[in-house]
Every structure is written in C-alpha cells, then in structure tokens.
Amino acid sequence: MTGLPAYRVWALPGIPEVRTGDDIAKLIASAATADGLPGLADGDVLMVTSKILSKAEGRVVRADDREAAIDAEAVRVVARRGPLRIVENRLGLVMAAAGVDASNTPAGTVLLLPEDPDASARRIRTGLRDTLGVNVGVVVTDTFGRPWRSGLTDVAIGAAGVRVLDDLRGGTDAHGNPLSATVVATADELAAAGDLVKGKAAGLPVAVVRGLSHVVVPDGGAGVAGAGDGGDGAGGADEGARALVRDAADDMFRLGTSEAVREAVTLRRTVREFTDDPVDGGAVRRAVAAAVTAPAPHHTTPWRFVLLESAESRVRLLDAMRDAWIADLRGDGFTEENIARRVRRGDVLRKAPYLVVPCLVMDGSHTYPDARRNASEREMFVVAAGAGVQNFLVALAGERLGSAWVSSTMFCRDVVRDVLGLPADWDPMGAVAVGRAAVAPPSRAARDADAFVTVR
C-alpha cells in the first residue's frame, strides 16, 4: 500500500495545566521531545486548542454573569432562541456565545478567545522554529456548531504557516469538467482531524498531523493555494485563518430568521436614485409571494400586482400619467413653473429599471344597507392592500432591491387602467419603483418605539 496518500495524527501528551504567562511553544517543544514520542519534523502541522492560549494570554476573566461577557465580545446578534445566542464576535467569527467558555476554568470565571488567534499561531510557529529548528504549520482550533448539521466539530480560528484554503477554481475534475466553485477549507479539515485524537475532556490540547507537508508553507509563503500556481501559493504574507471568514457581501445566511426579518424591515428605505442594473423578475415574483401572505378580510385575496418589465410599457404609462397630472395641475390654477417643478419631483418612477403597480380588488367584500358600513368595508380592504404592499417592500429589501412606493397612480386610476388594459374593478394603489440603489439612503434617526405606544 506504499505510495498511497496517507497521513498520521496523534495527540501530544505531557502538556501541563497552563497558567497566565506560560510560553506555549516551549511547553509543546518539551512535550514533543519526551522519550517515546516521534518528536516534530519539518512539514508537521500542530492543532492547538484555543483554551490553552486563552489561559496563557490572560484571557481568563472574572464574570459572575456570563451573559455580560458575551455582550462585551459580541458585535452583532445573528440569531437568538431563548437563552441561546449565535453572534458575530469581534474577530468576525459567527458562533454560539461569542466563544465565551465557562468550562475548564475556575468557578466564577470565563475564558475569552485569544485576542488575535493568527498572531498566537505565529508566535508558536516561530518559537518551535527557534527551539527545535523545525518548519511546522500551526492551527488554533475552537469548537463550532454548524448550520444544517447536528453536532460539534473543531474549526480553525487562527493559523500560521498553513494553506488555510485550497482554491481549485480554474482546474478540472477527473472527467475534465471545470471547477468553478470549489475552495477547500484545508485548515478546518486539519482542525477536525486533530479533534478526533485530542478529545473534549481528555486533557490533550495539542495534536500533530504528519504526512501533509504540502499544506505547510515556507516562512513568508501564502496561506491560500490556487489551481493555477501548482500548489505553491501566490507569494506574500501568511493570511492566517481570517481568510476563512466569509465576507458579509457574499454571505447568503448572515442572519437567523427573526433577525433577517427585522433587518429587512430596517433596510426597507425609500430609494430615489437607481442604477441601470437589470432587475431579476424572479426576485420580484418572490416578493409578490410574500405580499400575498398578508392578512385580509373574509378570507379574500384583495391584491393584484402588475409587473412592468419592458421599458416600452413603463414609458407609455408614465407619459400618460404625466399628461393627466399636468392637466389636473393646470385645472387647479398652478403656474407652468410650479407644474414643471412638481413633475420633476415625480421622476423617481422614470429613474427605476422596473415598475410594479399594486392594485386593490374588492372580490368577496360584503354589501350593507347603509353607507357607513360599506365605507368601513372598503377601509378593511384598503388596510389589507397596504399590508400586502408592506410585505412586498420588505421582501424586496430582503432581496437587496431598493424601492419607492409612490401614490401617483391613485390620482389617475382610469388612465392607468386604460393604458395597462386592466379590469374596471382593479384600483391602482400607487406604483413601486424597483431597482438597485445608486447611493445608500441617508441615515435616519432611530425612533423610540415607546413614543408610539399607549398602554391601558
């Protein structure tokens, strides 16, 4: 079986209880050179549990209230369910409780993650090179849960001298098919391999992997291997495990369910300047699917959404609406200068690459003998239409699409119905401009919810 790809992994015994100020590299060197052990060699990779680094670096803090420690380490709540919080910590890691650990530490204290796990890994690597003369890789590990998967595993939160990612994009598989999305998290795979022998409660915080020297880079080498460089890396500084943290812009699962809803509501801001980027009709239809889940009276479905996907249909509608508006303003006695200024303010719809006209239908409404009850019946349907449009706007924000809900079609409903060929009982309820925001909406002062609440 010689010649087949293989590696060995073993836990390193003899690491004593770590205390503040201990030199982890010296402790590892001493343990690795004990009698009966294979020692360390060039190309080995060490997996070092973050807890011993936290202890050595004085990251043990008095905290009778663990929640307060989590608050101090967290920068963003990703998801919350009961007392459990998944948060992004100051290192950019998304994990339970910000990595604050109350195990393997005296009562009344908690362990925080190392201040800079990549720097910790570099110190260990340098220390082992100086002490034993070996070029090894170092991976600092911590325990993570994972979306969609039960159980825990160790992952890399710090690294030095290791190709943390193996970028295979641009290569081909065994059948010659191009690889367009394959980036292997090598450092995480190493961390998981080491965890198999370290164990969670065995008092073995360090593991050694031998036989994978190709993942260890020379001093000053790069931490990411690419398909186009033959595995030699691209040169430059060691990137460390920070390269494993996905950028926010590329993270499709950045929030938990309730947090995603709240962020989408917050993101729903009126956009008045759009880029020329085309709008995905599928995204708009998904937003319509969210819209029609709104509450409505009598189990009715009072919403209809007219999607103006062609430039011709948008221009034809907006030209007809403009002419009707100008005629109304002239009839109201406005000067030509005032009319021109008002028409320019309404140009937000012309700047959008996509328009939607939400309509109200009264199918299923009740008719009563007196006008008061009939007016209330219509009000119920109008409220339901507004709820549907709000759902629609929030869902668009969740698709990272900007919008502006403009009331103009309500002032010329006959014109809109005629231009768009709509049934006589469809009432246009404004128009929604849809597109990607050209500039971020200006900041808005937070509103105190208590100012809008009355309790009886």
Distance CA 66, CA 105 (A): 13
CB 163 within 8 A of CB 225: yes
Q: In what helix (H) or strand (E) does residue 428 lie, and over which residues does it extend?
A: strand 427-428
DSSP 261: H
Cα–Cα dist 303/195, whole Å? 55
Q: Does residue 40 surpass a pLDDT of 70?
A: yes
pLDDT at 253 over 90: no
Identify the three-state secondary structure at position 120. Answer: helix
pLDDT digits (tens, 9 = 90+) for 41-89: 999 999 999 999 999 999 988 877 788 888 899 998 888 877 888 899 9
The answer for residues whose C-beta is within 8 angstroms of residue 430's C-beta and 6 or more apart is 357, 358, 389, 405, 406, 407, 408, 409, 410
Answer with the residue of higher pLDDT: 410 or 83: 410
Burial 59-75 (b: 16+ CB within 10 A, else e): bbeebeeeeebbeebbe
Q: Is the dihedral of CA 388, 390, 391, 393 positive or negative?
A: positive
What is the model's pLDDT at position 183? 85
pLDDT at 230: 40
Of residues 108, 114, 96, the one with CA closest to residue 66? 108
The pLDDT value recorded for residue 186 is 94
- From the list 347, 364, 323, 335, the residue with the least C-alpha distance to 431 is 347
Determine the average pLDDT of the residues in 151-159. 94
What is the per-residue pLDDT for 221?
A: 52
pLDDT tens profile 304-318: 999 999 999 999 999
Q: Which domains does the chain have, with CATH numbers?
A: 8-59+113-250 (3.30.1330.100), 258-452 (3.40.109.10)
d(CA 34, CA 213): 23
Lowest mean pLDDT among 90-99, 179-188, 303-312: 179-188
- pLDDT tens digits, 380-400: 999 999 999 999 999 998 888
Mean pLDDT over the full length of the chain: 88
The answer on pLDDT for 266 being more than 50 is: yes
pLDDT in the model for residue 231: 40
Q: For residue 45, what pLDDT is reported?
A: 97
Q: Which of 303, 281, 266 minimizes the C-alpha distance to 434?
A: 281
**Residue 250, phi then psi, degrees to nearest 5:** -100, 0
Query: For the segment 235-248, what is each residue's pLDDT rounded down to a tens digit?
Result: 334 579 999 998 88
How confident is the model at residue 141, as a pLDDT? 97
Is 25's pLDDT higher than 60? yes
Neighbouring CB atoms inside 10 A of 262's CB total 13
Per-residue pLDDT of 432-450, as tens digits, reads 999 999 988 777 788 898 9
Lowest mean pLDDT among 37-46, 183-192, 270-279, 336-345: 336-345
**pLDDT tens-digit series, residues 113-122:** 999 999 999 9
* pTM greater than the 0.75 cutoff: no
Q: Are 138 and 45 in contact (CB under 8 A)?
A: yes
Local confidence band at 285 (pLDDT 50, 70, 90 cut-offs): very high
Of the listed ranges 78-92, 279-293, 352-366, the least confidently predicted one is 78-92
8 A C-beta contact, residue 203 and residue 11: no
Give every strand in the sheet of 183-184, ordered side by side. Answer: 183-184, 165-167, 224-226
Q: Is the pLDDT score of 228 beyond 50?
A: no
The pair of structure tokens assigned to 402 is: 């900007």
**Token reading at 262:** 């709240």
More confident position, 130 or 262: 130
